[in-house]
Amino acid sequence: MKKLLALFFTFLSCSYLSGQYYGTLEIPEDRVNTWIPKITLEYQGIYHFSEGDTESKLRLFFAGGMKIAQLVQGYWEDSTGIWKLKYTNLTNVKIDKQGIFSSDQFTGRFIRFSESSYKGLRIDNPWTEWIPQGKNEIGYRSTSSPRDFSGKYPELSYRHLSKEELATLSKKTLQRMRNEIYARYGYRFKSGSEMEKYFSKQDWYIAQHDDVSTFLNQIELDNIALIQKVESSK
């Protein structure tokens, strides 16, 4: 991956100034074309934007007829000086046959670079604060798999589980599955509680937030509701 990114930056560094950015580089309009694959499903992936402290990524995946677009950004918390992550789920996500991306928050289009096989997503109204007003920003697709969720049950974040899949599991397992969704977003469990003791042993877990309810995508919310229903029947 690092080698591919190095080649990508070398490719971009030969560009002239224009109105769209990748990282800190400005590239001309004629270096990109609209990316229109055979099926919309091919747009799935993780798109990386900007560099350093302003680096962010957009997870894009489809499940059960839904299009999930989740923006992941880091920031330094002023009161503690701690680096934290925040998650924003875009709403009303649409992708048309011409490669146009839209949501209630951001719009853009999918692109591919004319002189290489690299693909990306160009955002018309970038969330990266340093991008000059009126300029666009391109996010490079680093992988076609958007499923980079940590934990023992990562599928809870990208696939709807069925009642039948959960029916044979113990109440303790169901509780851990449900709470893993919150833990993935850095939820801070009550000190000394069973969940705090369990997740503090997981190498991927970092307690950061007292409330992560707004971070959860719709698939996760649906799975939590189903797990609670199965739990109550145990």
Residue 37 has pLDDT above 80, yes or no: yes
Judge whether 157 and 219 are in contact, CB under 8 Å. yes
Asked if residue 16 has pLDDT above 60, the reply is no
Q: Find the range with the poorest average confidence among 25-34, 118-127, 175-184.
A: 25-34
Burial zone of 32 (CB within 10 Å; 0-12 exposed, 13-18 middle, 19+ buried): buried
Q: What is the pLDDT of residues 187-212, one digit of tens each?
A: 999 999 999 999 999 999 999 999 99
Query: Is the CB of residue 85 less than 8 Å from the CB of residue 212?
Result: no
* Each residue's pLDDT tens digit, 81-124: 999 999 999 999 999 999 999 999 999 999 998 877 889 999 99
Q: Kindly state the average pLDDT of the residues 173-186.
A: 98
pTM: 0.88
Any idea which residue has 């007829």 for tokens?
65
How high is the pLDDT of residue 193? 97
Of 188, 193, 191, 184, which is closest to residue 215 (Cα–Cα)?
184
- Are residues 88 and 70 in contact, defined by beta-carbon separation less than 8 angstroms? yes
Going by pLDDT thresholds of 50, 70 and 90, the confidence category of residue 38 is very high
Give the pLDDT confidence of 214-231 residue by residue, as tens digits: 999 999 999 999 999 999
Average pLDDT of the residues of the chain:
89
For residue 5, what pLDDT is reported? Answer: 44
Give me the pLDDT at residue 23, please. Answer: 66
Of 222, 13, 3, 221, the C-alpha closest to 113 is 13
For 154-232, CATH number out of 1.10.10.60, 1.10.1060.10, 1.20.58.1690, 3.40.50.261 equals 1.20.58.1690
What's the pLDDT score for residue 110? 97
Q: Say what the pLDDT of residue 2 is.
A: 43
